Amino acid sequence: MPKKAPSYRNRNNQALVTLTDGLTKRRRDYWLGEYGTAQSRERYHRTIAEWESNHRRWPSINEDPSTPDVTITLSEMLIAYWRWAQTQYTPSELSSHQTLIRLIRRMYGSTPAERFGPKRLRLLRECMIKGDPDADPPRRPWSRPHINRQVHRLGAMFKWAAGHEMIPISVYHQLKSIEPLKRGRCEAPEPDPVGPVPECLIDPIRPHVSWQVWALVELQLLTGARGGELFGLRPIDIDTSDDIWKCALVEHKTAHRSKARTIYFGPKAQSVISPYLQSRSVDAFLFSPAEAEADRRAAQHAARCTPMGHGNGLGTNRSDDPARSPGDRYTAASYRRAIQRGCDLAFPPPESIVRKRVLGRGRKEGAMRWETDAEWNQRLGEKGRTELVRWRKEHRWHPHQLRHNAATHLRREFGLEAAQLALGHASAAITDAVYAERDQARVIDIMRRIG
């Protein structure tokens, strides 16, 4: 039921109406003239009509020149933007927005939004470059490309605010005058290039991940799809009428640009998917963390050594209200964490730097617990943390690297155009420059022949 319109009120024989902005939730009085007159009631209805037609945003024209303009702060502007962004962006993109919004609010939250100019943006960018070891948690320096992307997102926030008449458009134009950081001409670190996963690091994790996660790994290698394009697969989405199965995605990275994206499943990919199509509702997700957790618990129960009449019964040691429960579909974060756990189990770090079990405090004698993060960091010290980071860098890999594996294989075996079509790129230049690593062995063989 729609909320009742704000009332026509009297204050000191002057008519006014108080309107709440639908985005910032701030209140503002609009003075309408002498109370009870036809002119003031006409202004009231006109103000309410403009407020409703603007999605309950403040009217852009203030009828009373004596009423001062209301200046919103950066925090208020960003809160309003965040409410809108949650309906527009994917979870991974929202995560980057959230990190940037937190940084801006911590440094300039109380600053009027219209006074945030190029000088403050440069100071904010310097904070991105240097990091903040005193923050909780400590924030490492951002890489140059990531900083440029975050500054671009900041510009988009101010453009949105200007479009909703929260700030003058001149503020956005001033911020866009800042040139992006260039390689070799700034102190921002360069990111490590993303390449394919070494083959020797993929198969060893298979015993340490669920069947659902391993199926996603295989499908990425066979199809070159992004992980996010596979998480939402359902039986109803896959066309199995031909020898090559197809899935025309509705939600994908470039859907907002009206781009089409189709994933093709050959015989090997079909053999991976087929077991998940059986005895499943047509609108249920093929790969479910909840199912993976149920399978894990069933395996634990099957390997139980204690007789059923002794010790804990099935499910009696579970929390009735867990802080986090497995969902119906994977996300980029949960898929990445599953891969990382598999890597840590397949390639365990040296005993000196792994988290250890210690004697519990305030418990019965002999009870053990895991080290807290603070205790672990204190025991490792600077040298131990550096060794742990090096070990993880050498033995962990990111799921998106599997797309590089598929692109490199497709380019090597079938050419650049085939890789472009399989990966769904609009231009072969993107495939060649970003994903399909060149076959150096061919160059070496040519140079060996020509001397």
Confidence band for 37, pLDDT divided at 50, 70 and 90? confident
What does the DSSP assignment read for 223-287?
H---HHHHHT--GGG-B-SSSSEEEE-SS-TTGGGT---EEEE-HHHHHHHHHHHTT--TTS-SS
Instruction: Give backbone dihedrals phi and psi of 327, rounded to 5 degrees, phi first.
Output: -90, -175
Q: Is residue 151 over pLDDT 90?
A: yes
Whether pLDDT at 63 is above 50: no
The tokens of 89 are what? 């962006």
Is the pLDDT confidence value at 34 over 80?
A: yes
Of 140-144, 325-329, 438-442, highest mean pLDDT: 140-144
- 147 against 107, higher pLDDT: 147
User: Which residue would you say has higher pLDDT here, 97 or 307?
Assistant: 97
Task: Classify residue 434 by its DSSP letter.
Answer: I
pLDDT cut 90: percent of the chain above it: 24
- What's the whole-number mean pLDDT along residues 301-326? 72
Q: Is the pLDDT of residue 2 over 60?
A: no
Report the pLDDT value the prediction gives residue 170, as an integer from 0 to 100.
92
> Which amino acid type is present at position 2?
P
Mean pLDDT of the chain: 83
Residues in the chain: 451
Q: How far is CA 417 from CA 7, 59, 196, 424, in A?
A: 65, 53, 19, 11
> What integer pLDDT is reported at residue 65 of this predicted model?
40
| Mean pLDDT lowest among 73-87, 314-328, 339-353, 369-383 | 314-328
pLDDT of residue 337: 92
Q: What's the burial of 147, exposed, middle or buried (CB within 10 Å: 0-12/13-18/19+)?
A: buried
pLDDT at 440 over 70: no
More confident residue, 31 or 116: 116
pLDDT digits (tens, 9 = 90+) for 264-290: 999 999 999 998 888 888 888 999 998
Nearest in space to 72 (alpha carbons), one of 176, 171, 155: 171
Of all residues in the chain, the percent with pLDDT exceeding 70 is 86
Q: Is 415 a residue whose pLDDT tops 90?
A: no
The contacts of residue 261 (CB under 8 Å, 6+ apart) are 229, 248, 249, 252, 253, 254, 255, 424
401 in Cβ contact with 193 (< 8 Å): no
> In the chain, how many H helices and how many E strands?
16, 7
Residues 183-232: tens digit of each pLDDT: 988 888 998 888 889 989 999 999 999 999 999 999 999 998 888 889 98
Transcribe 333-393 into DSSP letters. HHHHHHHHHHHHHHSPPPTTTS--EEE-SSSSTT-EEEPPHHHHHHHHHHHHHHHHHHHHH
Report residue 31's pLDDT band, with 50, 70 and 90 as the boundaries. confident
pLDDT at 362: 59
Q: Which residue(s) pair with 31 in the sheet?
A: 16
Least confident window among 66-75, 200-209, 396-405:
66-75
Residue 311 pLDDT: 63
Q: Render pLDDT for 72-126 as a digit per residue (tens, 0 to 9).
A: 889 889 999 999 999 888 777 888 899 999 889 888 888 889 989 998 899 889 8
Query: pTM (2 decimals)?
Result: 0.71
When pLDDT is cut at 50, 70 and 90, the band that residue 29 belongs to is confident
Phi, psi of 358 (to 5 degrees): -130, 170
Local confidence band at 64 (pLDDT 50, 70, 90 cut-offs):
very low
pLDDT (mean) for 5-28: 84
Q: Lowest-pLDDT range, 214-218, 324-328, 346-350?
A: 324-328
What pLDDT score does 312 carry? 65
Residue 232 amino acid letter: G
Collect all residues with Cβ–Cβ distance below 8 Å to 73 and sequence separation of at least 6.
109, 110, 111, 112, 113
Q: What is the pLDDT of residue 72?
A: 83
